Structure 1
Amino acid sequence: MKKTVLVFLVILFSIPFYSQNNSLWKGYFSFSNVTQLSQSPTKFFAANENSLFSKNMNTNELKTYTTVDGLSGLTITSQFYSASSNRIFLGYENGLINIIDETDKSVSQVVDIINKGGIAPNLKRINSFYEFDNKLYISCQFGIVVYNTITKLFGDTFIIGPSGQQLNVLQTTVVGNTIYANTQFNGIFSADLANPNLIDFNNWQVFDAGFWRIISTFNDELVGLNTNSRIYQHNGSIFIERFNLNASGLDFKVINNQIATCSATTAFVLNESFGLVFQLSTTQIPDFDDEFTSVSIVSGNLIIGTKESGVLTVNLSNPTDVNFILPTGPARNNIFSIQTAPSGNFLWAVYGDYSESYNPYPLDSYGVSKFDETGWLNIPYEDLQEAKSIVRVAINPSNENQVFFSSYFSGVLKFENDQLTEFYNNTTSNGPESLVVAGSPNYVDIRMNGSGFDRTGNLWVTNSFVNNAMKVLRPNNQWQSYSIENTANTALTLSYGRLSIDKNGTKWFVSNREGVFAFNETATPQFKKVTTENNLGYPYTDTRAIAIDNRNQVWIGSVGGLRILSSVDRFFSNDELISRPIIFVEDGLAQELLADTFITDIVVDGSNNKWIGTADAGVFLLSPNGQQTLQRFTSSNSPLPSNFINDIDINGKTGEVFFATNKGMVSFRGTATKANDNLNNVVVYPNPVRPGFAGTVKITGLVDKANVKITDISGNLVFEKIAEGGTMEWDTTAFGKYKVASGVYMIFISADQGLETKVKKVMIIR
């Protein structure tokens, strides 16, 4: 089903969770891939890979939960609504539990199972929750853990293997006084629930040696969905087949006096006698090209989770009443690349990717997405002339309605007003070229990647595995190519990545084996190679990130660390371009900054700080010279859903820094704004500063190198700094020594050389 057909109900951004930064984080998650459903009497709860949304079927209230609210960012493996405590329990692959209180919407984390000793860390996955008599029986990869929903305390742990070994328990259920535990490979075990010594494995017996997907209790009898796609009822003596799904069963729930179950193509509702009372197949839904994943029943509606379309609801009394429920968001969570418009009014995201070795296979058939003040526009793959593995975005700064997408298999796409207007490939004169495969002259594989506009409106794009590595699309729609074969040692086997263009029009771009190349069509030679100090080879020659800072230095990120070239002007003055590490001193020892770190992206903000994305260590914010680490964000100390950062981009107007990870996108509102042309729009916030405020006062709308002085009402100077970019922060201290007292403080701002001035006030209330 094309995403453009879905009705997105509301624009929702997650409520921030981390205390002192409550207003600084936002989440931009996809909720389309529903993996599990649970229900209360009036709501359904739909879990995705690492997020959750719910809908009240009576009031239509829609609510989302993401890492910004306090979810872990790990893969959700189970979820359950507890009626006795009015709380939602989320279980994760590592044994973590998130608890969402439906009363006050608070989110807490429980780490008891993570910290449980005697169990391998990779065997703590939580498979399911079952509630009986105010106790949760938590089925884990190693056994069963009991949790009291009233006291909020953990009880016994049951290791039920015949010889006391750990078994992967999938579900538990209680019938009468007997507790049943379904295991992955060892069948169903049972025990007397009244036995006070269930921690002794001898008190657990094999009840049935078959292979079951899900078991439950229905009409005070044990029922189950077998791996043979049939539903069985145990009559006290044997299992009796009661219903055949005729396809692999994915979900099975007992809800009041009904059973809801589904395969990938069909959902069923059965009555107390296992009679079929409702059936819905994917072929009955107009324009639906998706699969079912899970089912539930709420307020007379069949709730069906899908792989790509969120949740669909069907009124059991009116089968034609089908609705899709999907909070607005990008098409996928694994966003590979993003680009914000120079105006700051919108952002584009793409999902194609390649491996660490630049291998795009298996090829991705994903669309592209645009975010603006109205929400997300998701343009499907079918509307892109089936271009695969789209990896980069370039927005024309002179005409933001014109956007170009680089495909790492198909060529270059041109969009105007959100519509595909041109598709440049190997049939385009002087345009993108296909790599050559020996013995397959007709095979087409066009590896286009890093792209950017120069000051005269030319679009530059890298083309891998060909001699003509640098391509340019002129404003007159004509392509031109430039050969790198005299500079690169192995041009026909090189992959190229990101590209950055400096003040001189020199194009700097990364490669997988020969470091960074620089190209200027007006120079002789046109191409030069950036080497590392002491001619270090791999991993420093496998470069992934490139950025030009506000002082015209070239910052280079490789799979092995960080390097800097002191000036872009060296391209014209030096035959050799040598990059060097940043050395800092800690505890009296000289160390290399970010040594042995796989750097995926480098972005320079309006204050010339460097945002560094990594493949496994989250995000670093470095001072302009790299000597200070100003911030460090990871999935443990921030709402980052993953430490694997695909891309970073900054909205220069608002200072919002976007982090695209392999598990979702979040943003941080810092001080990363670009400098203004004048002081007409200076704003000071918060104002007044009220008691208990733990943040900083922001002064925005500054020109570059503006001088900012803050004095008390008597004229005593408490702060002075030269701005780098459009925003400055004051920590409300007198030169960092002590917190200033309550009162009115004057802010005097003057542009470079005093040509323009502005005076503002801020009230401090302690």
Structure 2
Amino acid sequence: MAAQQIWRQMNLVNFFTLLLIGIFIHAQNTNLRWNDHFSYSSIHHIWEIHDQIICSADNGLFSYSPSSGEIQKISKVNDLNDVGISAFHYNPELDILMVGYESGEMDMLGPDENHNLLEIPLHQAYTGSKRVNHLSSAGSTAIISGEFGLASFSLENFEFLETTYFSVAGVYFGVKETAILNNVIYAASDRGIYTHELNEFIANFVSWNQETAIPNSEFQQIVSFQGNIFASTGDNVYRYDGNNWTMFGNFPNLRDITTNGNTLSFTTPQNVITYNESFAVIDNVGFEHPIRTGLKIGTTTYGGSLEFGLLNGQNSIMPDGPFDNKSWKVTAFKQNLWIAPGGMVNYNNVQQNKNGFYHFDGTIWNHVKSETLFDAKDILDVEVNPNNIKEVFASPWFEYTSWPADPSKRIGIIRVEDNIGQENIINTNNTPNGFWRVGGSTFDESGNLWVGQSFVGEEGLTVMNKRNPNGGWQSINLNAMTSDAGARKPVVYQDHAFMALPRSGGVKVTNMTNSYSITANSNSGNLPSNNVLSVAIDKDGFLWIGTELGLRILYNPLETITQDFFQAEPIIIEQNGIPEALFTDVQINDIEVDESNQKWIATSTSGVYCVSEDGTETKYHFTTANSPLPSNSVNDIEADPSTGIVYFATEKGVVSFQSDAIEGGESFGDVYAYPNPVRPGFTGNVVIRGLPNDADVRIVDVVGNLLYRTKASGGSAVWDTKNSKGKLVASGVYLVLMTNRDASESKQTKIAIIR
């Protein structure tokens, strides 16, 4: 069956099934464990492809079927290889979707195979942006526009043909878009329109012709329509009919020019004006929300909005997700998820982000707007009441509702119930004119809420606050210098709060009566830096400290900090036979301890590490290159103990990974092993889940010979499919015998192995 016939007969599900045939398998083969929690609200491109509407958003694509209302999304979790989509194009002759990214990478998604192009090959003399500005095609040739000029690419052989550098007197200038008409390339550049015949000899820029009948100013958009070229510079649109350029019209604040069949559309901030093939206006459709692009499909005009997805009249169409992709911290509890978008630079300066926060309630995403939070801005943290999941406390970093500062509109921590702000809590122990920059809060096991804050009072103090279940407050000055502010979310252990101060403050520890310091001083911690960004207490009571220059551990911290001399220890691993400290000179943004006492470590440049209980073994190392992580700069990690899902908040959005560590009880749950069966070529561990804490697990063969024995940790146990002598077991069926801690319950299951 011809490719076009296949497309015409595909429904929505088949469309994405076809695209996913060539799913990219990441190096660690863990894609099936990943999920994205991206926003699809900001639309960049709209295409109609065989009765489906395909939209590009910041971090992915989605399709919408007007006939069925079905929506499907595609992102880095499945078929794409990057985030930050900057260009999107469809070639109907070859059934290929082309996606370009801000990084310079491209994906070519086809019916037979998908291709990822890591970067356009550019010579070393060009050091500017590699962003893909635009993609167009004619036949089997694609044209890629960028700040360097443009490149041609074969969609049949999937190889670059030629690169044309747009340069005058050694100065490069960019091409924003191209259109192809009658085998001629029309390039809308920063210095006017340039043309060249579409052949394999386009590399010499001197052979390109500049159109002189129109301004040589920057042209932003260009399309071919009904044998004509339409191009815009500023708000003015020019038309080329094959012989002459003429002024077509002025469109105030023009955003985009698009074509679809026999219609031509011009998008302004809240309108789409559409012309027919005779260049007469057929409608002018307005939208309630600002739009970036628009397209007429059949009798309906759609708008691609900046914040509300694909618009059809009053209808907002997009995959369910958070309001946007800004993510500073993520909170997970009982299959609910909260994302705090943040608003802080250098752990000090506010950003006045008024987006509130985002809450997934297990069914749908909710946008908790700033207006419902007493106009609080720069939400850095959302802490859920473990005894009442409907009650959370939001921590704003911006200290006033408006600027210049109005003391009467000071903002404290916000108590929120059912996603509506109920109380703006301001500790009256602080002076009225002081800042109230809340770095985060934490509930302890007794229901007390611990709140860390900076720039308190006229002296700019760093303070720990403790709010008891009855609403009473207790505060203590942590004796940090004003310049050492930048409070982070505290960690509470045995009625002591530990708080990282990333601006040269080290770690402050307090029981609300006394305060202690852990610093880079050789007598009080010997940390590699006083810029501490994260702290965590593991299940052995050890304090893990993440600094801008690496990681340290303080054993028995409550006893140690009262001594006159103590030092935190590095984790020593062996590399090529040479002992060295783990994470030397790596900025540690966050440390999360899961139910198996493994540590998940977020870095500023190297993605995420998962290390063993003592840190000496790396279980996983996820980066943008080998996983769906959208950025190697990870702000925060949160593990949901009830599901084992680990969430990563990055500067470009949130993704999650299904780990094996879940909250274990005293009884068995739904016990199962995976993968099961183990097929030829598998080299990892088999995981047995649904186990109680410390369950005894034994693997035996069919005649009862003991092959392996271990204890459950974090609700699971692992087996490397080896026997007691360290050799891989043969094909066969093996029994898993399990008992809980006091042997009052037992279970068994089977694992099939095929070598």
Q: Check whether TM > 0.5.
A: yes
What one-letter code is carried by the residue in structure 2 that aligns with 1:224?
A: A
Indicate yes or no: 2:49 matched with 1:40. Answer: yes
Distance 1:68 1:653 in 2: 23
Shift of 1:128: 1.3
SS in 1 for 2:345: coil
Indicate yes or no: 2:25 matched with 1:18. Answer: yes
Contact 2:448 / 2:469 at 8 angstroms: preserved in 1? Answer: yes
Indicate yes or no: 2:333 matched with 1:324. Answer: no
> Gapped runs of 5+ residues in structure 1?
1-8, 315-321, 437-444
Distance 1:476 1:275 in 2: 70
Indicate yes or no: 2:604 matched with 1:612. Answer: no
Indicate yes or no: 2:179 matched with 1:173. Answer: yes
Instruction: Identify the residue that residue 230 of structure 2 maps to in structure 1.
Output: 223
SS in 2 for 1:33: coil
Shift of 1:681: 4.6
Cα 1:560/1:635, change in 2 over 3 Å: same
Cα 1:340/1:358, change in 2 over 3 Å: same
Deviates more, 1:12-21 or 1:348-357: 12-21
Indicate yes or no: 2:334 matched with 1:312. Answer: no
Shift of 1:738: 3.6
Instruction: Identify the residue that residue 218 of structure 2 maps to in structure 1.
Output: 211
Alignment RMSD (CA, Å): 2.8
Distance 1:22 1:421 in 2: 41
Indicate yes or no: 2:96 matched with 1:87. Answer: yes
Equivalent residues in 2 for 1:132-531, closer than 5 Å: 132-159=138-165, 161=167, 166-184=172-190, 186-193=191-198, 197-208=201-212, 209-227=216-234, 229-236=235-242, 238-245=244-251, 247-282=252-287, 285=288, 290-314=289-313, 322-341=314-333, 344-360=334-350, 362-409=351-398, 410-425=411-426, 428-430=427-429, 436=434, 445-466=435-456, 467=461, 469-485=463-479, 488=480, 490=481, 494-502=485-493, 504-511=494-501, 512-521=503-512, 526-531=514-519
Deviates more, 1:261-270 or 1:754-763: 754-763
What one-letter code is carried by the residue in structure 1 that aligns with 2:615?
A: G
SS in 1 for 2:627: coil
Select the residue among 50, 56, 65 that pairs with 1:56: 65
SS in 1 for 2:436: coil
Contact 1:330 / 1:369 at 8 angstroms: preserved in 2? Answer: yes
Deviates more, 1:232-241 or 1:324-333: 232-241
SS in 2 for 1:53: strand
Deviates more, 1:255-264 or 1:699-708: 699-708
What one-letter code is carried by the residue in structure 2 that aligns with 1:303?
A: Y
Cα 1:176/1:688, change in 2 over 3 Å: closer
Instruction: Identify the residue that residue 656 of structure 2 maps to in structure 1.
Output: 667
Contact 1:648 / 1:659 at 8 angstroms: preserved in 2? Answer: yes
Distance 2:521 2:660 in 1: 34
Contact 2:331 / 2:339 at 8 angstroms: preserved in 1? Answer: yes
Cα 1:153/1:107, change in 2 over 3 Å: closer
Contact 1:156 / 1:199 at 8 angstroms: preserved in 2? Answer: yes
Distance 1:433 1:755 in 2: 59
Distance 1:570 1:681 in 2: 41
What's the CA shift string for 1:346-379, capped at 9, x where partnerless? 121111221123222x211012221133121222
Contact 1:531 / 1:579 at 8 angstroms: preserved in 2? Answer: no
Indicate yes or no: 2:553 matched with 1:564. Answer: yes
Cα 1:406/1:683, change in 2 over 3 Å: same
SS in 2 for 1:678: coil
Shift of 1:273: 3.7
Shift of 1:434: 6.3
Distance 1:67 1:171 in 2: 25
Deviates more, 1:559-568 or 1:69-78: 69-78
What one-letter code is carried by the residue in structure 2 that aligns with 1:266?
A: N
SS in 1 for 2:238: strand
Shift of 1:673: 1.4
What one-letter code is carried by the residue in structure 1 that aligns with 2:471?
A: N
Scaled by the length of structure 1, the TM-score of the pair is 0.87
What one-letter code is carried by the residue in structure 1 that aligns with 2:321?
A: G
What's the CA shift string for 1:708-734, capped at 9, x where partnerless? 221111222222223332211223232
Indicate yes or no: 2:522 matched with 1:534. Answer: yes
What's the CA shift string for 1:669-690, capped at 9, x where partnerless? 1112123223355433444445
Equivalent residues in 2 for 1:584-595, closer than 5 Å: 584-595=573-584
Distance 1:349 1:158 in 2: 44
Distance 1:736 1:31 in 2: 52
Contact 1:335 / 1:661 at 8 angstroms: preserved in 2? Answer: yes
Deviates more, 1:161-170 or 1:657-666: 161-170
Contact 2:48 / 2:260 at 8 angstroms: preserved in 1? Answer: no
Distance 1:417 1:534 in 2: 48
Cα 1:736/1:270, change in 2 over 3 Å: farther
What one-letter code is carried by the residue in structure 1 that aligns with 2:711?
A: I
Instruction: Identify the residue that residue 5 of structure 1 maps to in structure 2.
Output: none
Deviates more, 1:34-43 or 1:507-516: 34-43
Cα 1:72/1:684, change in 2 over 3 Å: closer
What's the CA shift string for 1:632-689, capped at 9, x where partnerless? 0000110101111111101112111111111111111111212322335543344444
Scaled by the length of structure 2, the TM-score of the pair is 0.89
Cα 1:300/1:154, change in 2 over 3 Å: farther
SS in 2 for 1:652: coil
Instruction: Identify the residue that residue 632 of structure 1 maps to in structure 2.
Output: 621
Shift of 1:446: 1.4
Contact 1:270 / 1:277 at 8 angstroms: preserved in 2? Answer: yes
What one-letter code is carried by the residue in structure 2 that aligns with 1:223?
A: F
What one-letter code is carried by the residue in structure 2 that aligns with 1:25?
A: W
Cα 1:313/1:292, change in 2 over 3 Å: same
What one-letter code is carried by the residue in structure 2 that aligns with 1:730?
A: W
Instruction: Identify the residue that residue 137 of structure 2 maps to in structure 1.
Output: 131
Distance 2:506 2:733 in 1: 54
Identity rate, percent: 30
What one-letter code is carried by the residue in structure 2 that aligns with 1:527?
A: S
Cα 1:739/1:375, change in 2 over 3 Å: farther
SS in 2 for 1:91: strand
SS in 2 for 1:498: coil
Cα 1:299/1:719, change in 2 over 3 Å: farther
Contact 2:496 / 2:510 at 8 angstroms: preserved in 1? Answer: yes
What one-letter code is carried by the residue in structure 2 that aligns with 1:261?
A: F
Distance 1:743 1:177 in 2: 64
Contact 1:468 / 1:481 at 8 angstroms: preserved in 2? Answer: no
Shift of 1:235: 4.2
Cα 1:251/1:553, change in 2 over 3 Å: same
Contact 1:367 / 1:381 at 8 angstroms: preserved in 2? Answer: yes
Distance 2:92 2:272 in 1: 25
Cα 1:735/1:630, change in 2 over 3 Å: farther
Distance 2:237 2:640 in 1: 54
Contact 2:166 / 2:174 at 8 angstroms: preserved in 1? Answer: no
Deviates more, 1:322-331 or 1:529-538: 529-538
Deviates more, 1:492-501 or 1:646-655: 492-501
